[in-house]
């Protein structure tokens, strides 16, 4: 009896070793081609001039303040002081251009601390006070049936990640990932476009000519409007950008972030938080755990990583080799911020291998969207699993959703989309449903 047990134990060890080799091999394979660099958006020699130009910018909310600046982490770190009745008191240190303080605010100084031990230099002194606007947390719920919003039929056969906005003529536009396949991500190299006068339209959107065909991968577009000009961003692995005066005709394609701070940078979403202050949320992965990274810009051209907006840790259910927290989207509602992300791409090597053959074992997980809340747009906490995450608010059944606010009716909507071979809520189209905000218990 001992001999068969010994052989069984040896077989299990061999299988475990083989699985471990495959896991390491897949991770090396998907990571090796990807480059990272904190200075992927600002040339090293340009940091000093931009740093002096921007100084220290502030933002505040209910019982928090934020200081932001241009950082140069290869050469220096930063010390933050707060003026008190007894004098200046150190309240923090950081290597990036961001400091979030929860307290009563006041006058702050940010000092540059050179790594070559040369004298410290004052970067800026600012005074900022938090507001005190207590408000309840609201729970978003899907408040109706899904109905078709847009399906391309000429320039593509489906829509995955997408963006929705109003152009300068007041028409609603949807721009999204597509291809002339049933969902081959390697062929997704331009965006399909849908248009309607109303939102949601009674009969769906009308297909328009595609955009952003530059011969390389084009994933997860996002459009914002600032000071009368439209800006479109997309990925993966670097940040593309175009501009438009009317939201219809696009020009000036360029790459504004050649290499991100962490690998698996994709699904960029941009939120304006103040005049000349924008935040960019992206899918990312640390050494093992998935996360949502946060970048900062003061001009929509130069971006710098400043922190992780949401990280996962032990207890998190999914940590794919190519990251599991996808399609981040942040909205502000009643003085709180809500971050949604589609939580799929299961852990371990076999999911990545099966994906190449268009096999998705756990179909419901494709539509698993988590919603987190915070009182500020910088820190949504740590995800440690469905029952151990204090900032996790709810789960919604949707894939890569956009949150749409209609300024005329005051109503909110949510969308869902996805590859036809994986999605269960749709079969190639984007669908839309109303959102209801209910005060959380």
pLDDT at 13: 83
Residue 16 has pLDDT above 90, yes or no: no
Q: Report which of 430, 432, 397, 435 is spatially closest to residue 175, judged by C-alpha positions.
A: 430
Can you name the residues that pair with 374 across neighbouring β-strands?
337
pLDDT per position as a tens digit, 151-205:
999 999 999 999 999 999 999 999 999 999 999 999 999 999 999 999 999 999 9
Q: What are phi and psi of 28, to 5 degrees?
A: -65, -40
In this structure, the answer to whether residues 79 and 106 fall within a common structural domain is yes
pLDDT band at 53 (very low <50, low <70, confident <90, very high): very high
Any domain includes 145: yes
Question: How far is 162 from 430, CA to CA, in rounded Å?
Answer: 9
Any domain includes 290: yes
Q: Report which of 432, 404, 418, 435 is spatially closest to residue 150, judged by C-alpha positions.
A: 432
Q: What are phi and psi of 367, to 5 degrees?
A: -110, 25
Averaged pLDDT, 380-393: 97
Residue 99 has pLDDT above 90, yes or no: yes
Any domain includes 19: no
In this structure, the answer to whether residues 107 and 151 fall within a common structural domain is no
% pLDDT > 90, the chain: 90
Question: How far is 300 from 280, CA to CA, in rounded Å?
Answer: 10
Cis check: omega of the bond before 106, within 30 degrees of 0:
no
In this structure, the answer to whether residues 158 and 120 fall within a common structural domain is no
Dihedral over alpha carbons 382, 347, 259, 311 (to 10 degrees)? 0
pLDDT band at 22 (very low <50, low <70, confident <90, very high): confident
**Strand, coil or helix: 186:** helix
In this structure, the answer to whether residues 185 and 334 fall within a common structural domain is yes
In this structure, the answer to whether residues 358 and 235 fall within a common structural domain is yes
Question: How far is 291 from 236, CA to CA, in rounded Å?
Answer: 16
Residue 149 has pLDDT above 80, yes or no: yes
Question: How far is 414 from 259, CA to CA, in rounded Å?
Answer: 31
10 in the Ramachandran plot: left (φ > 0), alpha (ψ -120 to 50) or beta? alpha
pLDDT at 287: 93
- Dmax over CA atoms of the chain, in Å, equals 81
pLDDT at 338: 98
2 versus 324: the higher-pLDDT residue is 324
pLDDT per position as a tens digit, 290-335:
999 999 999 999 999 999 999 999 999 999 999 999 999 999 999 9
pLDDT per position as a tens digit, 331-378:
999 999 999 999 999 999 888 889 888 999 999 999 999 999 999 999
pLDDT band at 2 (very low <50, low <70, confident <90, very high): low
421 in the Ramachandran plot: left (φ > 0), alpha (ψ -120 to 50) or beta? alpha
Residue 270 has pLDDT above 90, yes or no: yes
- Overall domain count for the chain: 2
Any domain includes 271: yes
418 in the Ramachandran plot: left (φ > 0), alpha (ψ -120 to 50) or beta? left
Any domain includes 8: no
In this structure, the answer to whether residues 276 and 298 fall within a common structural domain is yes
**Does the predicted model carry a pTM greater than 0.85?**
yes
pLDDT at 11: 76
Any domain includes 10: no
The domain that holds 251 is classified in CATH as 2.115.10.20
In this structure, the answer to whether residues 175 and 251 fall within a common structural domain is yes
Q: Which two tokens stand for residue 11?
A: 């077989």
Q: Which two tokens stand for residue 72?
A: 């140069």
pLDDT at 83: 97
In this structure, the answer to whether residues 251 and 112 fall within a common structural domain is no
pLDDT at 103: 86
Contacts 24+ apart (CB under 8 A), 355-360: 358/182, 358/183, 358/184, 358/419, 358/421, 358/422, 360/421, 360/422
Any domain includes 316: yes
Averaged pLDDT, 209-237: 97
* Cβ neighbour number for residue 309 with a 10 Å cutoff: 28
pLDDT per position as a tens digit, 242-266:
999 999 999 999 999 999 999 999 9
Q: Are 245 and 230 in contact (CB under 8 A)?
A: yes
**Strand, coil or helix: 271:** strand
The domain that holds 52 is classified in CATH as 2.60.40.10
In this structure, the answer to whether residues 162 and 200 fall within a common structural domain is yes
Question: How far is 189 from 76, CA to CA, in rounded Å?
Answer: 39
pLDDT at 441: 87
Residue 1 has pLDDT above 70, yes or no: no
pLDDT per position as a tens digit, 118-142:
999 999 999 999 988 788 999 999 9
Final residue belonging to a domain, choices 105, 128, 151: 128
> Domain residues for 54?
44-128
pLDDT at 172: 98
pLDDT at 187: 97
Dihedral over alpha carbons 342, 327, 272, 69 (to 10 degrees)? 100
pLDDT at 290: 98
Mean pLDDT score across all residues of the chain: 95
Any domain includes 35: no
In this structure, the answer to whether residues 110 and 162 fall within a common structural domain is no
Residue 5 has pLDDT above 80, yes or no: no
Averaged pLDDT, 415-434: 97
């Amino acid at each position: 009896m001992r001999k068969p047990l010994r052989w069984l134990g040896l077989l299990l060890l061999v299988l475990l070793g083989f699985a471990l080799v495959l896991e390491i091999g897949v991770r090396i394979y998907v990571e090796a081609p990807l480059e990272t660099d904190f200075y992927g958006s600002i040339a090293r020699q340009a940091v000093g001039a931009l740093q002096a130009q921007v100084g220290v910018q502030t933002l505040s909310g209910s019982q928090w303040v934020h200081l932001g600046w241009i950082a140069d982490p290869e050469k220096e770190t930063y010390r933050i002081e707060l003026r008190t009745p007894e004098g200046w008191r150190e309240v923090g240190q950081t290597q990036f251009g961001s400091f979030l303080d929860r307290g009563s605010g006041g006058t702050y100084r940010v000092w540059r601390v050179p790594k070559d031990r040369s004298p410290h230099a004052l970067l800026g002194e600012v005074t900022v006070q938090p507001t005190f606007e207590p408000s309840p947390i609201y729970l978003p719920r899907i408040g109706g049936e899904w109905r078709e919003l847009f399906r391309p039929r000429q320039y593509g056969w489906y829509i995955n990640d997408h963006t929705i906005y109003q152009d300068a003529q007041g028409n609603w536009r949807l721009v999204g990932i597509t291809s002339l396949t049933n969902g081959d991500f390697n062929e997704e190299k331009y965006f399909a476009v849908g248009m309607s006068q109303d939102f949601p339209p009674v009969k769906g959107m009308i297909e328009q000519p595609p955009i952003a065909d530059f011969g390389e991968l084009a994933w997860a577009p996002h459009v914002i409007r600032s000071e009368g000009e439209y800006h479109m961003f997309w990925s993966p692995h670097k940040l593309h950008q175009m501009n438009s005066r009317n939201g219809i005709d696009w020009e000036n394609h360029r790459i504004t972030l050649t290499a991100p701070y962490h690998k698996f940078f994709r699904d960029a979403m941009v939120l304006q938080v103040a005049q000349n202050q924008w935040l960019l949320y992206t899918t990312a992965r640390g050494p093992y755990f998935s996360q949502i990274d946060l970048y900062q810009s003061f001009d929509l051209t130069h971006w710098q990583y400043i922190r992780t907006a949401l990280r996962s840790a032990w207890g998190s259910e999914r940590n794919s080799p190519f990251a599991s927290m996808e399609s981040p989207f942040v909205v502000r509602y009643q003085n709180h911020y809500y971050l949604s992300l589609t939580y799929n791409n299961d852990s371990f090597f076999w999911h990545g291998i099966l994906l190449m053959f268009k096999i998705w074992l756990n179909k419901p997980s494709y539509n698993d969207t988590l919603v987190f809340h915070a009182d500020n747009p910088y820190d949504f906490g740590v995800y440690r699993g469905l029952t151990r995450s204090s900032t996790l608010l709810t789960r919604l059944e949707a894939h890569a959703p956009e949150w749409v606010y209609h300024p005329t009716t005051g109503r909110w909507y949510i969308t869902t989309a996805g590859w036809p071979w994986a999605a269960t809520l749709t079969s190639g189209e984007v669908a839309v449903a109303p959102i209801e905000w209910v005060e959380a218990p």
